[in-house]
């Protein structure tokens, strides 16, 4: 069984600083939803309020139609009774416990010991750590320790798992590998997942839906494809992918730029090359157009200082409302 999540008019301040400002959000049951934004935008605070680790100042939170927080009633169900799993950035493993005991810890704490060994074995098998049950965390690599934290979460058989930047402590290659494993792990079980990150590539590659957050509000809540192709605000356009701005309300993505005219519907702009970066199969060309910095792709290196035309099909220019 999985749950949907409803946030209604949630606000939260720390002292005089408002971190979440009258925010509402619906997360579908069984979906993988990412809260994406820069540091300090409120995404981790929002996640912790869903978990019950922080208390909103105002609003309501529903899990599967059940109200777990209401500032009006008042009602505040504690974290251990919300039926949620939580995976932390720092793994949070007990160093003196073996892997199997770390996985079983929360189950024992809640006295859910029926079929305990089977649940632990199944969870370790799911993350490919069957042979590591008797080891201690210090005997594992960073990626293996993160798998233990995943196993601990799924052993609880939660209706929803909350992920607080769980891959940020890993190196780049391992982080990319673990993205696919984590997504498959929850998708195969149909578990509702809420994932916090500031890494747009993680969000774009893993998510069914993304909530782009900025200063305590949601700038856009949509699929990765729509956020990239149809950004609702200037912030979304600038934060997701690279954006080349023609003026304050018009932009295009770098892959839309052509260095040679291909048809009569293209607009021509003049730009000056500032640098060429070798990507392997092509070059990323850094350009200056008026006061804006643009990027485009080229088959060969172009000398800095070269003035050149850039052609954009009118249909590929994105108009931004805000």
* Apex 185 CA angle, 184 and 191, nearest 5: 105
Task: State the pLDDT at residue 266.
Answer: 93
**Mean pLDDT of successive 10-residue segments in the chain (322 residues)?**
88 95 96 95 96 96 96 93 87 89 88 88 89 92 87 89 86 81 87 93 94 96 96 94 92 94 92 94 93 93 95 94 64
Range(s) for CATH 3.40.50.300 in the chain?
A: 5-229
Task: State the pLDDT at residue 322.
Answer: 54
Task: State the pLDDT at residue 2.
Answer: 67
Task: State the pLDDT at residue 54.
Answer: 96
Question: For the purposes of burial, counting CB atoms within 10 Å of the CB of 14, is it exposed (0-12), middle (13-18) or buried (19 or more)?
Answer: exposed
Please choose, from the candidates 177, 315, 224, the residue with its C-alpha nearest in 3D space to the C-alpha of residue 33. 224
Classified by CATH at the fold level, domain 246-319 comes out as OB fold (Dihydrolipoamide Acetyltransferase, E2P) (2.40.50)
State how far the Cα of 279 lies from the Cα of 264, in Å rounded to an integer. Answer: 30
User: What is the 8-class DSSP label of residue 39?
Assistant: T
Please choose, from the candidates 121, 185, 130, 127, the residue with its C-alpha nearest in 3D space to the C-alpha of residue 158. 185
Helix and strand element counts for the chain (H, E): 8, 18
Return the number of other C-beta atoms located less than 10 Å from residue 320's C-beta.
20
Q: Measured in whole angstroms, how far is the alpha carbon of residue 127 from the centre of its chain?
A: 21
State how far the Cα of 48 lies from the Cα of 38, in Å rounded to an integer. Answer: 17
Task: State the pLDDT at residue 80.
Answer: 86
Task: State the pLDDT at residue 238.
Answer: 92
CB 185 within 8 A of CB 127: yes
CATH number, domain 5-229, options 3.40.50.300, 3.90.1150.10, 3.10.20.30, 3.20.10.10: 3.40.50.300
In this structure, what token pair is assigned to residue 99?
């892997």
E strand map for 145-255: 160-164, 192-197, 209-214, 217-222, 244-245, 250-252
Coil, helix or strand at residue 122: helix
Task: State the pLDDT at residue 93.
Answer: 87
151 phi and psi angles, rounded to 5 deg: -60, -40
Range(s) for CATH 2.40.50.140 in the chain?
A: 246-319
Task: State the pLDDT at residue 168.
Answer: 82
User: What is the 8-class DSSP label of residue 157?
Assistant: -
Return the number of other C-beta atoms located less than 10 Å from residue 322's C-beta.
11
State how far the Cα of 166 lies from the Cα of 34, in Å rounded to an integer. Answer: 12
E strand map for 40-191: 58-63, 66-70, 75-76, 84-87, 160-164
Going by their DSSP bridges, the two strands 318-319 and 307-313 should be labelled as: unpaired
User: Before 3, cis peptide (omega within 30)?
Assistant: no
Coil, helix or strand at residue 41: coil
């Amino acid at each position: 069984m999985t749950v949907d999540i409803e946030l209604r008019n949630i606000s939260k301040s720390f002292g005089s600083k408002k971190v979440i400002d009258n925010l509402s959000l619906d997360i579908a049951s069984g979906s993988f939803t990412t809260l994406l934004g820069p540091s300090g935008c409120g995404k981790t605070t929002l996640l912790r309020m869903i978990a019950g680790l922080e208390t909103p100042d105002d609003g309501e939170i529903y899990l599967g139609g059940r109200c777990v927080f209401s500032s009006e009633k008042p009602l505040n169900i504690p974290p251990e009774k919300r039926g949620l799993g939580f995976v932390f950035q720092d793994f949070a493993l007990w160093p003196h416990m073996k892997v199997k005991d770390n996985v079983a810890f929360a189950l024992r704490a809640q006295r859910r010991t029926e079929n305990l060994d089977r649940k632990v074995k199944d969870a370790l098998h799911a993350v490919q750590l069957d042979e590591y049950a008797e080891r201690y965390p210090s005997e594992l690599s960073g990626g293996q320790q993160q798998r233990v934290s995943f196993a601990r979460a799924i052993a609880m058989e939660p209706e929803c798992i909350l992920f607080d930047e769980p891959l940020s402590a890993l190196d780049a290659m391992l982080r990319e590998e673990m993205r696919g494993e984590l997504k498959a792990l929850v998708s195969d079980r149909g578990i509702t997942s809420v994932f916090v990150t500031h890494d747009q590539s993680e969000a774009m590659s893993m998510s069914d839906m993304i909530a782009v957050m900025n200063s305590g509000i949601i700038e856009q809540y949509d699929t990765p494809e729509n956020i990239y192709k149809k950004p609702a605000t200037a912030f979304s356009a600038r934060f997701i992918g690279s954006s080349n701005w023609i003026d304050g309300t018009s932009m295009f993505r770098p892959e839309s730029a052509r260095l040679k005219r291909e048809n009569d519907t293209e607009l021509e702009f003049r730009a000056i090359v500032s640098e060429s970066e070798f990507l392997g199969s092509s070059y990323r060309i850094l350009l200056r157009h008026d006061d804006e910095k643009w990027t485009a792709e080229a088959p060969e290196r172009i000398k800095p200082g070269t003035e050149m035309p850039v052609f954009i099909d009118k249909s590929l220019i994105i108009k931004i409302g805000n």
